[in-house]
Copies of this chain bind each other. A is one copy, B any other.
Amino acid sequence: MSNTHVPQRYTSLELPEHAGILGMSVRAAERVIEEARPGQGLLDLTGADTHCFPPPDWVLSDFAEAASGGGPTYTPARGDGAVREAVAANLTRFLAVPVDPERRLILTPGTQAALFTAISALVEPGDLVVLPDPDYMLTERICRFFGATVERVSLTLTDDGYADLDLDRLEELMRRRPRMFVFSNPNNPSGAVYSPGLIKQIAELAETYGVFVLADELYSRLVYDGRTATHIVDDERVRDSSLTLLGPSKTESLSGYRVGTAVGPDWMIDRMSDVLYVSAIRCPAYAQHTLKRWMSEDLDFVARRVAVYQELRDAAVSGLNSIPGITVPTPGGTSYVFPSFRELGVSDVEFCRLLKEEAGLVVNPGFQFGMNSSGHIRICFAQDPAALNDALARIGALVERISGR
C-alpha cells in the first residue's frame, strides 16, 4: 500500500514549479535544511523566543481558571459567546469598525486555521488567487491545496519601512477577476508596512474588479518608529468583501495556545464556522479565554514590547548590513528582517544548510515566501539580545568563509 494513490490536492502542496530554482521540490528542499544535524543545540531564528519574551502574566491564570471549571468545554464552532463579546468590544476599538460578536467574528485555532478555512470557503478549483511576492509562506500552498492557481505581485521594502507594491501588475491580474487578493500587513517576511495611500489603492482596485480581500494583520500591533497599521476593513468599499485576520500569537507570544480571530461579513464567518466545525471542531475551549483581556489590558505590555523589539530590529539591521555581501532595509513592522545574500552567489538551500551545519542557526529560506524572493533569508530578531548578537557574528563568520572560497 506504500504506493497508495496520491490525491491531486496533496501533490499540489509541493509547489513543483519551484524545482527549477531549487533543483528539487519545496518539501525536499525544506527537508534538506530541516534534517541537517537535528537537535544539536541549534539556535532557532524562525520564531520568537517566547521564553525570553513571555505572554502577559494573566494569560496562564485565565487559561487555568477556564480549565478548572470557569469556562465551558464545548463551545459553538465560532467560539464561546462571552469570549466573543469581550473580543468584539476590543477589536471594535482596535479596528475602528463595529465588530458584531454574533455575526462578524470567529475565534480560530490559530490564525493559520482562519487562513485555511477562509480560502477553502471561497475558492473553487481553477480560480486565480493573487498574492504579493514575498508573502506568508503557507498561503500559496493552501490556495493550491484547494485547486487555485496563484499569481504574484512584486513587493519591495522601501528604505523608509513601507511596502512598494507593483500596482500595475496588480491591476493587470485584477482584470482576470481573481477570487481573492491575500496579503499580510505588515508584510511577513519583509516587515514592510502598507501605507494608508497604498491600502486605499488596493481597496479601489478590489472594488472595481469585485475581488475579495483577505488581510492577514497578525503583526499589526508590531509596528515601529511611531507608525500605526492601516486596516483595509476601514475602507467602506471593501468592508463587506474583506476578511481581517488578527491574533495574539506574535507580539504577545501566545503562539503555543493556538488562538486567533477573523473579522468579516456574516456569510463568510458562517462558512468559516461550518468548515472549522468539520476540520477542527473549534478553537481550543479553555485557550479561548486568554483572548478576553487581549487588546484591552495589555496596552502597556505591548508598548514596552514594541520598544524592546525595535531595539533588537536596529541591532539586527545594523549587524547584518555590516557584513559584506548582505543587505537589508529597515523593516517598519513585524519581528523579522529579510536580508538579501544574492551577492554571495549561493542558493537558498545551500546557504540555509551552511547556516545550520556550520553556524548552528536555523532560518527560513527566501523561496518559501515566493519564487522571486530566493536569495533572501528570514530572521526573527525577537531573541535574547546576547543570542542575537552571537547569531549575527556567526552569520558574519560564515559569509566571510563563503566569500573566501
* Interface residues in chain A, defined as those with a beta carbon under 8 Å from any beta carbon in chain B: 1-2, 4-10, 13, 27, 39, 44, 46-48, 50-51, 54, 60, 63-64, 66-69, 71, 73-74, 81, 109-110, 112-113, 116, 120-124, 138, 141-142, 145-146, 179, 210, 212, 240-241, 253, 255-258, 265, 267-268, 271, 274-275, 277-282, 284-287
Contacts and interface: CB of A to CB of B under 8 A. Distances in A.
A340 B333 CA distance: 60
A60 B64 contact: yes
Contacts of A64: 60, 64
Contact of A10 (B69, B274, B277): B274
B1 A212 contact: yes
B2 A267 contact: yes
Contacts of A68: 60
A363 to B, nearest CB: 13
Contacts of A240: 1-2
Contacts of A69: 51, 54
Nearest to A239: B1
Report the copy number of this chain in the oligomer.
2
Contacts of A210: 1
Nearest to A271: B10
A146 B179 CA distance: 19
17 contacts: A1-B240, A4-B122, A4-B268, A7-B122, A7-B146, A9-B120, A44-B74, A51-B73, A60-B64, A60-B68, A71-B256, A116-B279, A138-B278, A142-B278, A256-B285, A258-B281, A284-B284
Given A2-B240, A5-B179, A47-B74, A13 B278 contact: yes
A179 B10 CA distance: 15
A10 B121 contact: yes
A294 to B, nearest CB: 16
Contacts of A48: 73
Contact of A279 (B113, B122, B287): B113
Given A27-B274, A109-B109, A47 B73 contact: yes
A259 to B, nearest CB: 9
Given A50-B73, A109-B109, A116-B279, 4 more contacts: A10-B121, A63-B67, A112-B281, A258-B287
Going nearest first, the 9 A-B pairs with the smallest beta carbon separation are A1-B241, A256-B285, A258-B284, A73-B256, A50-B73, A7-B124, A116-B279, A112-B281, A256-B286
Contacts of A46: 74
A94 to B, nearest CB: 23
B265 A284 contact: no
A374 B307 CA distance: 60
Contacts of A120: 7, 9-10
B274 A1 contact: no
A374 to B, nearest CB: 20
A44 to B, nearest CB: 7
Contacts of A277: 138
Given A7-B123, A267-B2, A280-B109, A255 B116 contact: no
Contacts of A4: 122, 212, 241, 267-268
Contacts of A256: 66-67, 71, 73, 284-286
A265 B1 CA distance: 9
Nearest to A274: B13
B122 A81 contact: no
Q: Which of A46, A210, A267 has the most CB of B within 10 A?
A: A267
A293 B210 CA distance: 53
B67 A110 contact: no
A27 B275 CA distance: 12
Contacts of A123: 7
A57 B370 CA distance: 47
A269 to B, nearest CB: 12
A138 B281 CA distance: 10
